[in-house]
Amino acid sequence: MWDRLLDHMLGGFITTGELHVTYPDGQERKYGVADAPPVHIRFHDADLPRRLVLSTEMALGEAYMDGGMTIAQDDLEGFLTLIIRNAVASDHLWWRKTALGLRRARRIFDQWNPAHRARQNVAHHYDLSSRLYDLFLDEDRQYSCAYFSRPDMSLEEAQAAKKHHIAGKLLLQPDMEVFEIGCGWGGFGLTLARDYGARVLGVTLSEEQHRIATDRAARAGLADRVRYELRDYRSVTGKFDRVVSIGMFEHVGVPHYREYFTHVNDRLKPDGVALIHTIGRAAPPGSTSPWITKYIFPGGYVPALSEMSRAMEKSGLYPTDLEIWRLHYAETLRHWHDRFTAREAEARALYDERFTRMWRYYLKASELTFRHHRQCVFQLQLAKHQQAVPLTRDYLYADGPDARQHAAE
């Protein structure tokens, strides 16, 4: 019965490209049209068709992790490209509408992130072994979208360009006080202190990130200008010249958006400027993949611009600039995936084969979502009043897009 149901679902789902499936009983079935080289997969687990029918995205990710499903030549990119491109065009199918409706119904629960739950969610991902992140991140441990102002940039160059592009939008002057919401492993705060003369308070809920960031500030001789604290951003008081948040808004949770923007407003001085850098969806509000929620980012969510705007409009902040990066994150993730794949043996030594396959699936699925499924990056610049920043972006590009980075270097 489950084989027949899955066969029916795939028949309606695969409308572009061609998928060959070998079922547990040895039967091979073909779906789609032969407009490109076919992708071949094999089910090794007799229970997999049932699980795919009942919870498609969860079962698919778990089957790849566990080896219950294999892909010919381990062509994960080809397989996920095929799946994602067909998913974009399949929301009208009854089983897709049902699954998406159930996920949206859970949004308030999944994204409810009070301080104690936010701490648990952060620990799930960011308190993994620091050696794992050494396998694929750049030397500065930038774990957010890089800025490829030139297509031939290395990952290190593009991450440096990202930092200096954001610093430019902050319009920094020496000794300005900056509040960084979600400081990661400290790289951006150290850049602001070293290259722009800022004084930085960065906060994180990750014990591992806090330890490494604090140690980096001390080793760089910047502990008097950069302070990292292990605390929730909502517990911070005082006023700052600048507020910046890079890659943290995805963890806030929709029920807390108004609280977040109100807090940003409350932390800014009257002439202050804020910059929020976040993954976004160029589509209406949606929901998070249950596989991503369980294995990668519990409590995480990619916001629609309409959701951010609705909360921001009630905060008292003035939107002074919005920039949208499209394929920059796809390129960033391609670099991360390729670096991770080159060092998979080290990942298996740290964890195991299942974890390694999970991480590769996460990186490649994320890259291809940016390429094929209306995902992008928003950079939202905010201020207390509309004249806090120049009226055009000329200040960012007066001497060319790389001038600020080269001057800092």
Q: How confident is the model at residue 307 (pLDDT cuts 50, 70, 90)?
A: very high
Per-residue tokens: 271: 């002439």
Quick one: pLDDT at residue 33? Answer: 87
* Rounded Cα gap, residues 46 and 57, in angstroms: 18
Q: Tens digit of pLDDT for each residue in 353-383?
A: 999 999 999 999 999 999 999 999 999 999 9
pLDDT value of position 191: 98
| Residue 54: partners with Cβ closer than 8 Å, 6 or more residues away | none
Task: Give the pLDDT band of residue 398 (cuts 50, 70, 90).
Answer: confident
> Is the CATH code 3.40.50.150 the one for domain 113-408?
yes
Domain boundaries in the chain?
2-105, 113-408
Q: Is the pLDDT of residue 392 over 50?
A: yes
Instruction: Give the max Cα distance, the chain.
Output: 69
What number is the average pLDDT over the span 235-263? Answer: 96
Report yes or no: 302 and 279 within 8 Å, Cβ to Cβ: yes
**pLDDT tens-digit readout, 53-85:** 999 999 999 999 999 999 999 999 999 999 999
Q: How far apart are CA 378 and CA 22, in angstroms?
A: 41
What pLDDT does 399 receive?
64
Of 397 and 201, the one with more pLDDT: 201
Give the pLDDT score at 409: 42
Specify the range with the lowest mean pLDDT, choosing from 205-219, 283-297, 320-334.
283-297
Residue 94 has pLDDT above 80, yes or no: no
The closest of 12, 23, 18, 163 to 78, measured between CA atoms, is 18
Question: Are the C-beta atoms of residues 378 and 276 closer than 8 Å to each other?
Answer: yes
Considering only residues 116 and 153, tell me which one the structure prediction assigns the higher pLDDT.
Answer: 153
pLDDT value for 127: 83
251-256 average pLDDT score: 93
Q: How far apart are CA 19 and CA 40, in angstroms?
A: 6
Residue 49 predicted with pLDDT over 90: yes
Report residue 100's pLDDT band, with 50, 70 and 90 as the boundaries. Answer: confident
Across the range 265-292, mean pLDDT stands at: 95
